């Protein structure tokens, strides 16, 4: 009887897998700004409204539905299936449900990653490396469809490592045949489906390198067979990716979007990370460890790690949005290398106290691994998810758990006035344009929003010129019939408008200022609400950065 109680008690204890699941929640609410971080990019809003439109119309859009500046312009909802999911979640609990689902998706991603890493290294080393990967990836924790790409990346990675280890089948079906089927889902959820194709292709390229550099001719035949299988699977995934409502147009769009010089110079998530950023220390650590792991594996004639790390380290250094992908793909080889280095500690040519400390560490983590291998019920994970849900759905949730777009960053107070006039044509920045779509669509349409790929370079340049008060800005507004301007008080354009005789302040709460053209305000009552306590808008990592940094500043997301 006592033995049974002991077994039950052990099963109830949290394991390192539980910690991997709970770690993103702890990190988000202890080190970051909680729900505010997940909703710090209002792209979530137009994704929800797009999903609602698709459900209401029973079709995916082919033309723009949100703007007055490019009415009926060709626009494709590339992430249509995610948007249906987002709309369905919003319909059953509002933003709280969207936030909860997004958090569970992040938790599931890093739990699967830990399980993969722990196959390569001691669980203690595995959880430490997974923590670093999660912390570095947090730069892009947003309640947006790209979370599906991070999840499917780990799914693909696990499948490929199974194949590499000789476990080639899943219920008698080859893993490399399953991945194209998974691609069918991935391609309709998010445009990052090509990440999986590149990952499979990297394994194929690594096998080709084995053929080229292998000194043993007998190994070249098996390497060629493996390379063909990987490359054929990558090709099958590519073919499967055409099964989407927009067929090849999706692929054309992805190529154009990634090659667009405007994105690389104006959109924050396409810029390289500033190494003064709070998460830079985690990224730097993984870069250094990844370089060591790549060299170590290459010296052992294992080229997969070197190829994968090289490809995604380069991508991460080019654009901040690729950092989560690099952190995930780097975790298994880094953990495996650390584990091997510690096991070689008796042969280290270092001071005796360092060698003894390393050997003691190896013994401790070995004992911990034995304890962690005992079967668990993962009650801690379930309890953690329930506590999170209870706090999110509480009638009056704590500040960190409020599922709302921050009223100190978005023009919530100004919307009551804007919503009263359906003839209003509002100019605002792209981030607030997203917010207007979420709050006022379909009564009000926007000048611009976060869909920079839809608006195109020429239009976006005009938009940035207006924000920077460059020559012809007022003429451009007139061409689009703009009669209302909504801006943060600190915006350079707001200062110019206050000096202009053609515009009049009709609302000011310290967070947002609303200007109306004099022609539109003639005969209307003049009313200004003043409250100077609100801060200026902190622009997000995913939004437009004006080319003239001395005029329009953009601050990165923490």
Task: State the pLDDT at residue 285.
Answer: 96
What is d(CA 43, CA 47) in angstroms, rounded to the nearest whole number?
6
C-beta atoms surrounding 501 within 10 Å: 6
Instruction: State the DSSP H helix or E strand holding residue 292, giving kind and residue range, or none if neither.
Output: helix 280-299
Residue that wins the pLDDT comparison between 254 and 10 = 254
Question: Residue 539 above 60 pLDDT?
Answer: no
What is the reported pLDDT for 555? 38
Quote the pLDDT of residue 344: 83
- Return d(Cα 309, Cα 293) in angstroms, integer: 9
- The CB-side HSE value for 389 (13 A sphere, CA atoms) comes to 10
* Residue 159: Cβ-neighbour burial (10 angstroms; 0-12, 13-18, 19+): buried
Contact criterion met (CB below 8 Å) for 517 and 502: yes
Listed range (111-125, 471-485, 520-534) with the worst mean pLDDT: 520-534
User: What are the contacts of 246-250 at 24+ separation with CB within 8 A?
Assistant: 246/60, 246/76, 246/78, 249/76, 250/76, 250/78, 250/187, 250/191
Range 418-446 average pLDDT: 91
State the burial class of residue 519 (Cβ atoms within 10 Å of its Cβ: 0-12, 13-18, 19+): exposed
The tens digit of pLDDT for each residue in 147-161 reads 999 999 999 999 999
pLDDT in the model for residue 2: 59
At 521 the pLDDT is 55
CA distances (Å), 293 to each of 58, 127, 431, in order? 50, 17, 40
List residues bridging with 169 in a β-sheet: 174
pLDDT confidence of residue 217: 76
CB atoms within 10 A of CB 405: 22
From 321, 265, 261, 277, select the one nearest 555 (Cα to Cα).
Answer: 277
- What per-residue confidence (pLDDT) applies to 548? 36
- Three-state DSSP state, 75: coil
Mean of pLDDT values over 385-399: 96
Predicted confidence at residue 520, as pLDDT, reads 62
* 448 vs 66: CA distance, rounded Å: 9
Which positions ≥6 away from 518 have C-beta within 8 Å?
501, 502, 503, 504
> What's the confidence (pLDDT) of residue 205?
96
Q: In this predicted model, what pLDDT tens digit does every residue of 99-142 receive, in sequence order?
A: 999 999 999 999 999 999 999 999 999 999 999 999 999 999 99
Is the distance from CB of 508 to CB of 491 less than 8 angstroms?
no
pLDDT higher than threshold 50 for residue 531 = no
- Report the percent of the chain where pLDDT is more than 70: 92
What is the band of 260 on the pLDDT scale with cuts at 50, 70, 90? confident
3-state secondary structure 401-470: HCCCCCCCCCCCCCHHHHCCCCCCCEECCHHHHHHHHHHHCCCCCECCCCCHHHHHHHHHHHHHHHHCCC
Question: Can you give the pLDDT at residue 354?
Answer: 85
DSSP H helical ranges for 2-75: 2-12, 16-30, 35-38, 43-57
Predicted pLDDT at 534? 40
Cα separation, 355 vs 98, whole angstroms? 50
d(CA 503, CA 200): 57
**Highest mean pLDDT range out of 7-16, 196-205, 501-510?**
196-205
Kindly indicate the confidence band of residue 506, based on its pLDDT and cuts at 50, 70 and 90. Answer: very high
Average pLDDT, the chain: 89
- 185-189 long-range contacts (CB < 8 A, ≥24 apart) are 185/81, 185/152, 186/148, 186/149, 186/152, 187/240, 187/241, 187/243, 187/244, 187/250, 188/79, 188/80, 188/81, 188/244, 188/245, 189/79, 189/81, 189/82, 189/85, 189/145, 189/148, 189/149, 189/152
Q: Which of 276, 287, 289 is closest to 313 using CA atoms? A: 287
pLDDT level of residue 482 (50, 70, 90 thresholds): very high
State the pLDDT confidence band at 370, using cuts at 50, 70 and 90.
confident
Q: What is the mean pLDDT of residues 264-271?
A: 79
In the predicted model, what is the mean pLDDT of residues 290-319?
94
Q: Above pLDDT 90, what percent of the chain? A: 72
* Confidence bin at 269 (pLDDT 50/70/90): confident
C-alpha span between 505 and 521 (Å, rounded): 10
Q: What is the mean pLDDT of residues 447-466?
A: 92
Query: Which pairs count as long-range contacts for 290-295, CB under 8 Å and 24+ apart, including other chains?
Result: 290/326, 290/330, 290/333, 290/334, 292/337, 293/330, 293/333, 293/334, 293/336, 293/337, 294/333
Q: What is the DSSP letter of 487?
A: E
Q: Which residue has the tokens 């009000």?
A: 444
């Amino acid at each position: 009887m006592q033995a049974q109680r002991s077994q039950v008690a052990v099963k109830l204890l949290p394991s390192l897998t539980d910690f991997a699941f709970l770690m993103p929640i702890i990190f988000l609410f202890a080190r970051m700004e909680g729900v505010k971080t997940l909703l710090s990019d209002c792209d979530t809003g137009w994704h929800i409204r797009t999903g609602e439109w698709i459900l209401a119309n029973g079709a995916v859009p082919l033309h723009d539905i949100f703007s007055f500046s490019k009415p009926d312009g060709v626009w494709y909802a590339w992430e249509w299936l995610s948007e249906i999911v987002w709309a369905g979640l919003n319909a059953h609990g509002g933003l709280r449900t969207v936030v909860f689902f997004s958090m569970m998706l992040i938790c599931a991603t890093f739990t699967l990653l830990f399980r993969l890493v722990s196959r390569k290294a001691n669980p203690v080393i595995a959880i430490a490396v997974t923590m670093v990967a999660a912390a570095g990836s947090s730069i892009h924790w947003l309640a947006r469809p790209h979370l599906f790409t991070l999840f499917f990346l780990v799914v693909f990675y696990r499948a490929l490592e199974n194949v590499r280890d000789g476990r080639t089948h899943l219920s008698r079906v080859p893993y490399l045949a399953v991945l194209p089927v998974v691609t069918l889902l991935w391609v309709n959820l998010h445009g990052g489906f090509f990440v999986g194709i590149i990952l499979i292709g990297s394994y194929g390229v690594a096998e080709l390198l084995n053929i080229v550099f292998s000194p043993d001719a007998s190994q070249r035949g098996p390497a060629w067979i493996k390379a063909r299988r990987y490359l054929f699977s990558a090709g099958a995934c590519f073919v499967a990716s055409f099964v989407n409502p927009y067929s090849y147009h999706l692929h054309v769009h992805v190529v154009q979007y990634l090659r667009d010089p405007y994105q690389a110079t104006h959109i924050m998530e396409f810029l390289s990370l500033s190494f003064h950023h709070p998460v830079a220390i985690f990224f730097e650590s993984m870069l250094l460890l990844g370089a060591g792991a790549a060299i170590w594996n290459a010296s052992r004639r294992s080229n997969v790690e070197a190829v994968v790390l090289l490809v995604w380290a380069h991508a991460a250094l080019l654009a901040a949005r690729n950092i989560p992908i690099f952190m995930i793909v780097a975790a298994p080889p880094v953990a495996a290398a650390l584990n091997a280095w510690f096991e070689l500690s008796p042969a280290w040519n270092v001071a005796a106290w360092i060698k003894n400390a390393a050997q003691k560490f190896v013994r401790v983590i070995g004992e911990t691994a034995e304890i962690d291998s005992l079967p668990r019920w993962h009650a801690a994970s379930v309890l953690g998810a329930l506590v999170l849900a209870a706090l999110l759905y509480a009638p009056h949730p704590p500040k960190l758990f409020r599922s709302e777009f921050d009223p100190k960053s978005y023009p919530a107070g100004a919307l009551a006035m804007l919503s009263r006039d359906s003839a209003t044509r509002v100019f605002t920045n792209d981030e607030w344009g997203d917010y207007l779509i979420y709050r006022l669509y379909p009564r009000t349409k926007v000048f611009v929003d976060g869909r920079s790929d839809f608006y195109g370079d020429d239009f976006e340049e005009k938009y940035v010129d207006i924000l920077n008060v460059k020559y012809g800005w007022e003429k451009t507004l007139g061409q689009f019939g703009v009669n209302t301007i909504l801006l943060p008080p600190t915006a350079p354009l707001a200062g110019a408008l206050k000096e202009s005789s053609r515009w009049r302040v009709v609302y000011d709460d310290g967070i947002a200022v609303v200007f109306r053209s004099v022609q539109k305000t003639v005969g209307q009552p003049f009313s200004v609400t003043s409250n100077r306590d609100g801060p200026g808008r902190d622009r997000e990592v995913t939004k437009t950065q004006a080319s003239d940094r001395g005029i329009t500043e953009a601050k990165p997301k923490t």
